[in-house]
Amino acid sequence: MDTAIDFSAIKTRQQTAWASGDYAVIGTTLQIVGESLAEACNLCCDERVLDVAAGNGNASLAAARRGCKVTSTDYVGSLLEHGAARAQAEGLTIDFQLADAEALPFANASFDAVLSTFGAMFAPDQARTATEMLRVCRPGGRIGMANWTPEGFIGQVFKTLGRHLPPPAGLQPPSRWGVVAQLEALFGSSAASIQAKPLVFNFRYRSAAHFIEVFRTWYGPVHKAFAALPPEGALALEQDLTALLQRMNSGGPGTLVVPSEYLEIVVTRR
């Protein structure tokens, strides 16, 4: 790990980015991922479950629907409020707490399962985040994650953003969490087993223009990228994203269906 990287400053900028749009608009469409992860982790009634970087609570809701005792955490308070409104609407009991994935405010071995769907993977200090998830998971418990892969669509979106706004030098891309070798490096010494299954989530929009409109309005990293670029730079980014979307569209003319690969991961704590 490069000690010259200012993780604290990066995290502050990330927090501002995620709070700048409204991830809940996007996150709600990803609910099926949380349900699949809950089943992959074989969550059981009354188990203690922590959702790390929960966003608006997809994995939290999935766990609560299975009778678990759920704590949902994120460092963006407005997203937790969205999650709480969803839980209230369904009559589910979930404890929502502000928390940093790199410094979880819980005792060792507090949870039977620790989950994260497209959340913890964005914390800048990857090793510290994995260490914290391991620390709060009991021996024999499970760490379940859904992480975008580098080759998949969202991985390509972030590569495209990086060409227009380069990330800080030395910072590992979030999509590294979607690489089995990186998971083994992060969890291997403390894992009895690591299961990683490639799956696909389909983004469904009217068109490439519709997708870009939604993401540049509501998805923090894309919103901030467009805002940071001059008009000609924003136009170039829009053109590159349009080309990517059209290239990966499997829906045919008149609609947009873009498959995005992710890894569904279950780490059994040693």
Are the CB atoms for 262 and 149 separated by under 8 Å? yes
For residues 23 and 212, what is the distance between their CA atoms, to the nearest angstrom? 14
Residuewise pLDDT in 10s, the chain (270 residues): 445 789 989 888 888 888 888 999 999 999 999 999 999 999 999 999 999 999 999 999 999 999 999 999 999 999 999 999 999 999 999 999 999 999 999 999 999 999 999 999 999 999 999 999 999 999 999 999 999 999 999 999 999 999 999 988 888 999 999 999 999 999 999 999 999 999 999 999 999 999 999 999 999 999 999 999 999 999 999 999 999 999 999 999 999 999 999 999 999 999
CATH of 7-152+167-202+260-269, one of 3.40.1780.10, 3.40.50.150, 2.102.10.10, 3.40.50.300: 3.40.50.150
- What residue segments make up the domains of the chain, in order of their start? 7-152+167-202+260-269
Model confidence, pTM: 0.95
Q: Which helix (H) or strand (E) holds 73?
A: strand 69-74
The tokens for 113 are: 């399962």
Residues 44-64: b if buried by 16+ CB within 10 A, e if exposed: eeebbbbbbbbbbbbbbbbbb
